[in-house]
Structure 1
């Protein structure tokens, strides 16, 4: 079956691409760029069908994110980040689902999940405080997922540490307008969030442990295998797909630019075997990165579709695949940008924007290879990895 969102995006490709400079200048998605995403259904790809969602295969989600990111990095990044939040919202209490989507099925939900707040228990819920960075696409969202730690009666972190995902409406948090001034992915508008003494009722809170171990999906009675993917496969998917899509966009602009370019030596690019070799090698690496990411999530989907849980070792190898695919794609971008000439660095040449966007995307915590590679190696050696932070990205 054809992917209707990918078809809609393809039809509006020129418009999405043309809005890239406006997104960057604004420091957030231009309203028209957000409108195009809403109209295409891009943010509803993983949304439950009972609330107007499409419940597409996660591979189709990743392919669509790559397509959008290849047109404009910031638009693709917002699609990948905001687009995965309906996946977790499918686990939430039906009351909060109705609050969010009851009147408008195109309501967007922001994040971040980093546990930078403290939730103090009170009757019926929690009093929540904290400050978070990197809330991508947040200007266009009316609700938010925020990570927090369970607190005690005095507002200090409770022991043992317990991580929560709390869901808040726009009226309960502040967006810090001047908090996103960066060299790449500027159009994502990934601003800071502040919460002061917000009351969050119990039904708007999901224990993170239940998301990670699949309990939340089972308790919600969800049958679509997409919702039984491990969190560590689903949450990074849109982010990693967007960076690989950005790499594809960089390659496309590089090819268009190099086609008629003549170097300062007078040699045409088409006659320079060294540059041609680099182009082919980079194209192969970016294509391999794409294939690895898509194959990885497809295999995860096939496992859960049989009713079997993905093992910790399989999750570790899956994360290694995600991380390595992104690094491979961005290294390839560096190789072609280094051969694009000085004029590629001019602001009116999109190559430099895609290059900057790719590198900022690479800095996201899910793409840090250290602990992921360490743990995946231990699991393949049949050695149990240590508990604690080492396993947090698996």
Structure 2
């Protein structure tokens, strides 16, 4: 069942619900009322609680403390994850009725950026944990009860690429195979896995939610960067998944999921492509800012040995440093504006048009590219000492390279989709449906869920 107000474990969570005027006698710092400026420039009333961004900054010392260890051990430290759970960051996009925040997605992304400034991998894991709770809010109430009814702090990892198979059987599906790169899987108790299933006479991608206790985690995350994400593989051997734990992805994109009957706030009407295209982008922004700040700090202390020149006084260095700062700042504003516009339309009961959505997805897909640009421009100007693993710039550079490789940051694919729509050409898209697909998905949802 959904979280009960009488549940002692929910007391703190209920104080953090959106719009709550309650105050806490033991935690006064979480109930102050503030005002903030939205990306659109409008002044809006903040929640009656400490903002997610402030909470992210409060736990920054804990996150930063384990950044190097995360990279070395190839997994985020338990202490860092627990800090994010304890302060509510992992529940930011979770329904209030299940002990979540139902926060504005812009605020959540800003919090992810702050965490990623201290450790890219930790920010990456936080972003994924948050969007997974957003996603399952579109699924059946029975599943949400299983996940959050007894423990609102439940964490889910994912691996969406169809590396394994799903076979329909009576009452559900049999999943079999191995799924790659499930970030944060060692901290989760459930995992979302992707596989193709025939629906309406054609193969359609589905997402399946599976208890990790029924699978096996394979330690195979040996990579260039983002090492601390612990993105290991998940292996299942003929595991039965009941039908209520599965969702057709087109039903999700069509905003026709059964969970929206009760989770009817604007947060859950924000286009998936706007939010998911920042899965890699938001942590990359944090890493980009961290690289910039660390670079400036090192630059101030750096003197070239062969001519004793101070690089911090070199005109080319100064111009280059200012250029990357402006580009990074501009891209962050663009990304947050896209999310804010999606939320504003959702509040009005509207959705962006196809071309507008495709352009928004493309603009979001450029985020990791902009962040990597910072490192690409600044890294070569320093001495060879920056390539040593003990130098934070080395780790951040590697993290940015890997973040840029995520499928959500494929600017070529996103650009082609937007351009084809503008020209009236057929367009393949990861997060967009044709009108016919939307109608068919809504019809399937009605048949399945009433």
- TM-score range relative to shorter protein: over 0.9
Aligned equivalents of 1:252 and 1:39: distance in 2? 28
**How much has 1:222 moved relative to structure 2?**
2.5
Match for residue 20 of structure 1?
67
**How much has 1:392 moved relative to structure 2?**
2.3
> CA 1:60–1:13 in structure 2 vs 1: closer, same or farther (change >3 Å)?
same
Match for residue 131 of structure 1?
178
Moved more, 238-247 or 358-367: 238-247
Match for residue 225 of structure 2?
184
Aligned equivalents of 2:80 and 2:65: distance in 1? 10
DSSP 3-state at the match of 1:24: helix
Aligned equivalents of 2:74 and 2:314: distance in 1? 39
TM-score under structure 1 length normalisation: 0.93
Match for residue 155 of structure 1?
none
DSSP 3-state at the match of 1:83: helix
**How much has 1:196 moved relative to structure 2?**
1.3
Indicate if the aligned counterparts of 1:61 and 1:238 stay in contact, CA closer than 8 A. no
Paired residues for 1:200-349 under 5 Å: 200-216=241-257, 219-264=260-305, 265-349=307-391
> CA 1:99–1:217 in structure 2 vs 1: closer, same or farther (change >3 Å)?
closer
Measured against aligned partners, the alpha-carbon deviations of 1:299-354 in whole angstroms (never above 9, x if no partner) come to: 11112221112222122101110122321221122111122322222222111111
**Candidates 143, 147, 153, aligned match of 2:190:** 143
**How much has 1:40 moved relative to structure 2?**
2.1
Does residue 167 of structure 1 match 2:167?
no
DSSP 3-state at the match of 2:237: strand
Match for residue 392 of structure 1?
430
Total equivalences in the alignment: 384
Q: Where does structure 1 lack aligned partners over 5 or more consecutive residues?
A: 153-157
Moved more, 87-96 or 183-192: 87-96
Aligned equivalents of 1:330 and 1:93: distance in 2? 39
Indicate if the aligned counterparts of 2:165 and 2:196 stay in contact, CA closer than 8 A. yes
> CA 1:364–1:211 in structure 2 vs 1: closer, same or farther (change >3 Å)?
same
Indicate if the aligned counterparts of 2:159 and 2:180 stay in contact, CA closer than 8 A. yes
Match for residue 126 of structure 2?
79
> CA 1:60–1:217 in structure 2 vs 1: closer, same or farther (change >3 Å)?
farther
Does residue 350 of structure 1 match 2:397?
no
Aligned equivalents of 2:167 and 2:258: distance in 1? 26
Match for residue 376 of structure 1?
418
Indicate if the aligned counterparts of 2:191 and 2:210 stay in contact, CA closer than 8 A. yes
> CA 1:221–1:314 in structure 2 vs 1: closer, same or farther (change >3 Å)?
farther
**How much has 1:118 moved relative to structure 2?**
2.1
Aligned equivalents of 2:212 and 2:371: distance in 1? 36
Aligned equivalents of 2:201 and 2:165: distance in 1? 12
DSSP 3-state at the match of 1:215: coil
Indicate if the aligned counterparts of 1:119 and 1:149 stay in contact, CA closer than 8 A. yes
Aligned equivalents of 1:7 and 1:214: distance in 2? 31
Measured against aligned partners, the alpha-carbon deviations of 1:114-143 in whole angstroms (never above 9, x if no partner) come to: 223322111111111122111000000000
Paired residues for 1:38-117 under 5 Å: 38-117=85-164
Q: Where does structure 2 lack aligned partners over 5 or more consecutive residues?
A: 1-45, 433-450
CA RMSD of aligned residues (A): 1.7
Aligned equivalents of 1:233 and 1:116: distance in 2? 25
Indicate if the aligned counterparts of 1:111 and 1:136 stay in contact, CA closer than 8 A. yes
**How much has 1:95 moved relative to structure 2?**
1.7
Indicate if the aligned counterparts of 1:166 and 1:205 stay in contact, CA closer than 8 A. yes
Aligned equivalents of 2:259 and 2:68: distance in 1? 43
Match for residue 55 of structure 2?
8
Aligned equivalents of 1:241 and 1:202: distance in 2? 33
Indicate if the aligned counterparts of 1:217 and 1:228 stay in contact, CA closer than 8 A. no
> CA 1:353–1:286 in structure 2 vs 1: closer, same or farther (change >3 Å)?
same
